Amino acid sequence: MNWNRLRLALKQVLHWLAPQRSAEPLAVSHPVLGELAGTADELHGSTALGARSLKLTVRRDDQAMETTLALAEQVIAHLPALHERSLRRIADGFLVSYNDDWRVGQTVDADGRRVRFENPALSAEAFCVQFALTTVEAGGCDVVALWYDCGELFWGHGFCVTSFDGVAGELHAEMLG
């Protein structure tokens, strides 16, 4: 038996069976999420938390778009509590690191000399108010991601808080960039 032919045939069958993804533009007027635009695979819109406008991304992954839209509805319905949980998760994971390491450093002035700086240590409350939620993402049937900007607190790095178990799932925070 020729394994390469079998492998090629299997690959072709899997390709034929795979759902065809459309890159054609799509616009959706959703009763909860508002106006969304994109493709059958990914829609973009906006939402708000208080007075702050946020980007909203709904990515179907390997699920029906209706499933992911339902997840996005849950995220928006629970966004204030999810945001507070996310801030606590960031503080639990990164406040000590900020106070011990990131608040002290050096910059280079206009003459090329190194200048030491030291920002004050922060309490958990003062730390959390530095984080601004910018983007909310829902993916598949259970992936939720909240993206945060923290200015220069961590020298320009951003943060993403993710749950792989929907709105009520365990949160994981990571620094990016």
The pLDDT tens digits of the residues spanning 26-52 come to 999 999 999 999 999 999 999 999 999
Q: Which two tokens stand for residue 33?
A: 């999420």
Query: Domain residues of the chain, as ranges?
Result: 24-176
**pLDDT band, residue 92 (cuts 50/70/90):** very high
Q: Mean of the pLDDT values across residues 95-106?
A: 95
User: How many beta carbons lie within 10 A of that of residue 24, not counting itself?
Assistant: 6
| Model confidence, pTM | 0.84
Quick one: which of 40, 49, 43 has its CA closest to 76? 49
Q: What is the rounded distance in angstroms from the CA atom of residue 49 to the CA atom of residue 51?
A: 6
Average pLDDT over residues 80-86: 97
| pLDDT per residue as tens digits for the range 60-79 | 999 999 999 999 999 999 99
At 94 the three-state DSSP class reads: helix
User: Residue 44: CA atoms inside 13 Å, Cβ hemisphere, count?
Assistant: 6
- 3 state DSSP class of 169: coil
Residue type at 102 in one-letter notation: W
Residue 164 has pLDDT above 90, yes or no: yes
